[in-house]
Amino acid sequence: MTTPNLLPGNRFRAYRGDGTAQQNWAFICLATSITLTLTNAFEDATVPDCDDPLAIPVRKSIMSSTAWGGRIAGQVDATRLAKLRADAGSQTPIPYRFLVDQTAANGGGAWIGNVFVENLEITKNNNGIVSFTCQFRGDGPLTWTDATA
């Protein structure tokens, strides 16, 4: 039996781009939880069997659009929170990169796309560490690039 090579959590990371032509990526070290959601929308039609008019028609689906989004969450470092606050107030999308840190042979690569922040929530419980959740929506395509090695 072949067992899968499970991906450790520190091998799936989020990076924020600076928007320059060279695109410098900064690791979002605050994010201890990352969710990336890919969504497909479909239009459906009920299609009869032309060879058997008495057969129950079946659903036929056509993909009509794709969308993506997700969230990052973690603990707050007030000095690093400024970038997330700026993203939450931005009227232009911000480039983000979601890295699967493995070789190409092991499924590694990265998704890259622009995001708008839908909401940024800052919380604390009792006198514990302050936490955040940043919900985002993709703007335009989310592209995948295989790792180089």
Domains of the chain: 9-39+67-146 (2.30.110.20)
Per-residue pLDDT for the chain (149 aa), expressed as one digit of tens each?
Answer: 889 889 999 999 999 999 888 899 999 999 999 999 999 999 999 999 999 999 999 999 999 999 999 999 999 999 989 999 999 999 999 999 999 999 999 999 999 999 999 999 999 998 889 999 999 999 999 999 999 87
What does the DSSP assignment read for the chain? -PPP-PPPGGGEEEEEE--SSS--EEE-TTEEEEEEEEEEEEEEEEE--TT-TTSPPEEEEEEEEEEEEEEEEEE--HHHHHHHHHHHH-SS-EEEEEEE-S-GGGT-EEEEEEEEEEEEEEE--TTS--EEEEEEEEEEEEEEEE---
